[in-house]
Structures are given as C-alpha cells and as structure tokens.
Structure 1
Amino acid sequence: MSDGQTDGRGRGIELSVVCPFYNEALIIEEAVSRLIARMRKLSCSWELIVVNDGSTDGSEAIVERLCDAEPRLWLLSYDVNRGRGYALRQGIRHARGEIIVTMEIDLSWGEDIVERLYREITAHPECDAVVASPNMTGGGYRNVPWRRVLVSRVGNLIIRACMTNAVTMNTGMTRAYRAAVVKRIPFEEDGKEFHLEVLLKMVTLGYRLREIPCVLEWKEYKLAGRRKKRKSSSRINKLIVSHSLFSLFANPIRYVWALGVGVLILALGFFCIGCVLFVQGRVSVYALMLSVLFGSMAMLFFTLGVITHQGHTIQRELWLLREQLGGANGRDRGVRVVNRAAL
C-alpha cells in the first residue's frame, strides 16, 4: 500500500486521514460512515486509513464490510493492542497522501475538522503541521465532564512550561502534517505520549507549527449509559503521571537553569542579610551559612543545566542523523492491510 502514491486512477493522493480505534463495535459503523460522507465532499483526492489496535469485540469485521463499498477506505489491523502511538505510527507509515491528518474516528473535534485542517496547512506552505486546539480563543469543550476539561487545561499548561510552548494543545491527536516531514522523523512512543513526542521532535528539529481553534465534543452515543465509565476516563490518573514525567524529562533545561537562578537569588538575599547583621554587630553566621548553602545549590543547578544542554544538543544531532537516514515509524510486525474493493 505504501509503495504507490496514486488513488488507482493515476492521480496523486493529496490527503490521507488516519484514525486509530480499539473495541469500538458499538459506534464504528456509524462513525466511519459519517466520516466517509464528509470526505466525499472534499475537492481533493483522498484516502481514509482506519487502524484496528488489536480490538477483540468484532470491530475489525465491521470495517472490513465497509471496505467492500468504498475503495478509498483502508483497514490496517493487528492482533495485539499496542497503544495509540503505535497505531498512529503504522497509519502514518502506510499513508500515501501529501498531507496526513490524524484524528478521532467519531468527528468529536468538529464535523468539518478534516476540511479545516487541510485548508489551513495548504494555505500556509511555510507550515509543517497544524494542531487543532480547544484551548485557544475560539475553541472550547462541549459535553465533556468538567474534571476532564480541568485536567486538559492544567496539564497542557504544565507541559508548555516544562517541554515546549509552541502550541496550546499538546495532548490531542487531531492534527495535519506534511507527509514529507512527519515520515522522516523517527518516532518511538507506543502510547499517548506519542503526541508529546511528535511536538517535541518537530520543535527541536526546527519545523514550523500552526494552530486552529476547535470545539471538542463528546458525542451523545459515547455519553449514553453514564454508569459505565468512558474507556479513557478510567485511565486518566495513569495518563496524568505518564504525560507529566514525559514533559519533565523531555526538555529539563527549561526549568533547571530557572531553578538555578531562583536559588542564586536566595543565596544573594541571605548574603545581603548577613552583611547587614554583621554591620549592626548582630549574629550573622547563620545567614551567611545559608548564603553559602544556597550558593552551592545554585552552582549545582547551573552545572546540571550545562550537562542537560549538552545532552539536548547531542540528542538533537542524533535525531537529525536518523531523520537524514529516513525515519522508521514502526515495522509491520504482523500488520494486515485490507481494502477488498481496490484489490
């Protein structure tokens, strides 16, 4: 599938849409059908790639039936659940379009989100990726529990402080990429940390990002039967920990030197207090000892800052080297490709 770059009629494919899913048998037929209906209105040539991340509820068979009726629909499938990041890496690897959009399969980021992302990235040739964000002016949340909204907003603020502030939405998958860029970058994360990894590496390698506002809505069929938790909500604590750790270790130079400056200011403050006490003939040794202690800590932070800066530079050079050699975003490892109508 990834060897050719045409839509079967000799035309180059302009847009690939990649949607992962896992155990979505209750909604998959309606969701894919609605998405195809939207995409049929596009004026560009396109393909839709849905990636079955090891579903066990019959979702795969439902999508296989849909492939019979739409030659531009592709199903990638494998038996073991590997995580959203692995599914997206497989979808990106097999995509043939010049622009690749990754998104939720149920259009929860807006009925017209594909068109808007594609229009934005094609209107700005200097841009390498476009991120849909409910956190910027003009965006928002609808039918999303307030706790999830709070976690999303606070989490993205923390990530922006610790890792990169290039965009306001770091944790969502709804984005558009230039295939020539995203296919060259080596990605490794299998879980939802993939979203952070993509942004970190794109920013580090000097690629340019844009954002568009959107409204994130939990569809009614996902809210039905409130006594049963939504799949992602049951793992929210795990996601908070994993995303926080990723952002903290991804770019420590952003806060190590800031901590060093803060501790140095404390050292200078205690030194000044000690000097004033000494001039006044009062006990100053404790203030001066604290000044020496905080000064030593500041030197330690600055040393760590130099080390992390050098490590960041080496890491960037390694990424550049791997990019030049060609990014490998996941090998097949038993991935099945289904498009019966096109074969």
Structure 2
Amino acid sequence: MDLSIVIPLYNEDESLPELAAWIERVMQANNYSYEVIMVDDGSNDNSWNVIESLREQNNNIRGIKFQRNYGKSAALNEGFKAAKGDVVITMDADMQDSPDEIPELRKMIIEDGYDIVSGWKKVRYDNTITKNIPSKLFNAAASKTSGIKLHDFNCGLKAYKNKVVKSIEVYGEMHRYIPVLAKWAGFKKVTEKVVEHRPRKYGVTKFGWNRFINGFLDLISILFVGKFSKKPMHVFGLWGTVVFFIGTCIWIYLAITKFAFEKFNMTDRPIFYVGLISIVIGTQLFLAGFLGELIARNSADRNNYLIEKKLGI
C-alpha cells in the first residue's frame, strides 16, 4: 500500500465528508493505493455516524472510535498501529490542512529518502496574539533544546516512513514531539516543507493556554526520558553526589573552625543548615537514581533496541 492517511478528530462531523472527497480525488489523480484511518477521539457529535457512512461509500476508509476523549496523542498512536502504507501521512480533520500537499510529501519520503517531513505553515490565517506568540516561543524552545531545526513542531500535516511510526510510542501530549521521539529512536533524516494553511471553515479551535504550558512540560520530560531512561543513575546519582559533597564540605569547615576557635555554636550559623539540607537532598537524589536504576534494569523493554539491518543472521 502506498499511503496511510491518519486523521485524528474530535467533533468534526461537518468537515469529514468534504475532506474525504478531497482526499479521494487526490488519490485517484495520482493512482495511489491507500487507506484513510479516521480516529474518533470520543466525539459527542455525529462524527462516528459520518465515518460509518463514508465507509459504506469508500472501502479505503477505516475508523477507530474511542469510548471517551483521550487526546490527540492517543488517537495518533492507535492510527500508527493500524497503518499499513509505506508512507504514513497525518493531517487534521478541520480542513485547514490541504490534501493537495500529499503527493509532494510522499515524494520527499520515497525519492529524497527522508524519514520525516514536517509541514510548516509559514503563512497562517489564525495569526492572533494569543496563539501566534506562544507558538513562536514554543517552537523556538523546542528547536533549541532538541537540536531539530523545525519552524512548526505542532503542524498536524506530516509524512513518515512506516518504520518510523512503528518504532515510537506517542502518549500524553507528545504528538508535538514526534520528530524528537523519532530522533531518539535513531531516525535523523528530518526536514520540513512549507505547506498551505487554509482558513478555518468548520468548527472552533481547540488551542488553549493549558496546551502551551503542557507543551513545555512535555518537552522537558521527553528530553530527559530520551537521554536517561535506561541510565537514571547517571543524572540523579551524579547530582546527588555533588550536592552531598558540598554539604559534607560545609560541615567539615564548620567542625574545623569550631575546634580551632571554640567561639561559636555551629547550629547558630545559617551555613550549618545549608550543609544539612545539602546532605539530605544529596542523599535523596542518590537514592532516587538507585531506585530508578533498579526499575530500569528490571523493566520488560530494558533491551528493546531498534535494529536497522541484519546480515547472515
């Protein structure tokens, strides 16, 4: 199969028929074998009934329905599990992503050899202060900390090799960081393509400040997990040892000055409590690293390494 098009949706019953018809026109014009996987993330409108109706008209359309709203990451993760196409395209269901971009995205994966091609909505129609400024800050921070030079991490229109989506797990709010997840999994050929951003025709935006804040928290989480998930002692043990050493040095200093001059009570000096807190925090950090190491070494996927090729095995 040439293409799997994964579409997560929540309360998008108005846009689905038009979107499905547009995708079908593009697929027929390029003679692609394809599937459209619509993942209903617990919609409370008529979305699932529309999906069932579209399936009756077009056998290439498949549907997954969640019992309740789990979020976009969960919807994408289930869509990725079901995807069979050589190239997997993700796009939003609100008609702001253009299916006409699909052939060029697929070409960049198949012919140019990229693992991921991320859309960049360079010209936007929702260029409001409450959305544009937080988005620019978020993308700048994500690009700087991850080392992946993308202008629009949150763009829903992306293309992936099938192997990429089968090698990662998307959870929480991690859909923004699929390129980062893929990088940690060993897929480093990532680029971006300027894509059309269309005016919203149906529904309302689901962007909010809570997503902006959660996005930064998830970025910190994914960077930490990507580097230290299999070696937590390297970070907790290191900083625990450093902080414990600082506290010990403070206590040694106080002990020497106490016995040398005998003119003060150690507990009367503020630095005594700094040393005490440092020793306690250092011990806690070291124990956290030790416990993390035990968990990592006994986890079911401790040796779940991705193998690209085998020869003679």
The TM-score normalised by the length of structure 2 is: 0.68
The answer to whether structure 1 residue 216 and structure 2 residue 200 are counterparts is no
**Superposition pairs for residues 49-198 of structure 1, below 5 Å?**
49-125=37-113, 127-134=114-121, 139-185=122-168, 187-190=169-172, 192-196=173-177, 198=178
Q: For residues 320 and 14 of structure 1, what CA distance do their matches in structure 2 show?
A: 34
Partner of 1:28: 16
Quick check: 1:108–1:218 contact (8 Å CA) kept in 2? yes
Which protein is bigger by CA-based radius of gyration?
Answer: 2
Residue type of the alignment partner of 1:206: G
Tell me which of 28, 42, 45 is aligned to 2:30: 42
Residue type of the alignment partner of 2:147: T
Q: For residues 41 and 135 of structure 2, what CA distance do their matches in structure 1 show?
A: 24
Structure 2, unpaired ranges of 5+: 228-234, 236-281, 308-313
Quick check: 1:31–1:107 contact (8 Å CA) kept in 2? yes
Quick check: 1:163–1:248 contact (8 Å CA) kept in 2? no
Query: Per-residue CA shift, 1:5-63, capped at 9, x if unaligned?
Result: xxxxxxxx111100011111232222322232333222221111111111121210111
How far off its partner does 1:215 sit? 3.0
Structure 1, unpaired ranges of 5+: 1-12, 223-229, 257-299, 326-343
| Aligned CA distance change for structure 1 residues 61 and 323 (closer, same or farther; 3 Å) | farther
Partner of 1:322: 304
The answer to whether structure 1 residue 251 and structure 2 residue 223 are counterparts is yes
Query: Per-residue CA shift, 1:158-204, capped at 9, x if unaligned?
Result: 1122333342222223211111232022x1414x32231x2222112
Q: For residues 82 and 138 of structure 2, what CA distance do their matches in structure 1 show?
A: 31
SS at match of 2:118: strand
- Of structures 1 and 2, the one scoring higher in RCO (CA 8 A, sep 6+) is 1
Residue type of the alignment partner of 1:182: V
Residue type of the alignment partner of 2:217: L
| Aligned CA distance change for structure 1 residues 171 and 323 (closer, same or farther; 3 Å) | farther
Query: Per-residue CA shift, 1:264-320, capped at 9, x if unaligned?
Result: xxxxxxxxxxxxxxxxxxxxxxxxxxxxxxxxxxxx9xx99xx9xxx9xx89xx988
How far off its partner does 1:246 sit? 1.6
Q: For residues 54 and 176 of structure 1, what CA distance do their matches in structure 2 show?
A: 25
Q: For residues 221 and 126 of structure 2, what CA distance do their matches in structure 1 show?
A: 33
Partner of 1:240: 212
Residue type of the alignment partner of 1:211: E
Quick check: 1:184–1:323 contact (8 Å CA) kept in 2? no
The answer to whether structure 1 residue 199 and structure 2 residue 179 are counterparts is yes
How far off its partner does 1:115 sit? 1.6
| Aligned CA distance change for structure 1 residues 184 and 177 (closer, same or farther; 3 Å) | same
Q: For residues 98 and 127 of structure 2, what CA distance do their matches in structure 1 show?
A: 14
Partner of 2:259: none
Quick check: 2:94–2:201 contact (8 Å CA) kept in 1? no
SS at match of 1:322: coil
Higher deviation after alignment, 171-180 or 102-111: 102-111
The TM-score normalised by the length of structure 1 is: 0.63
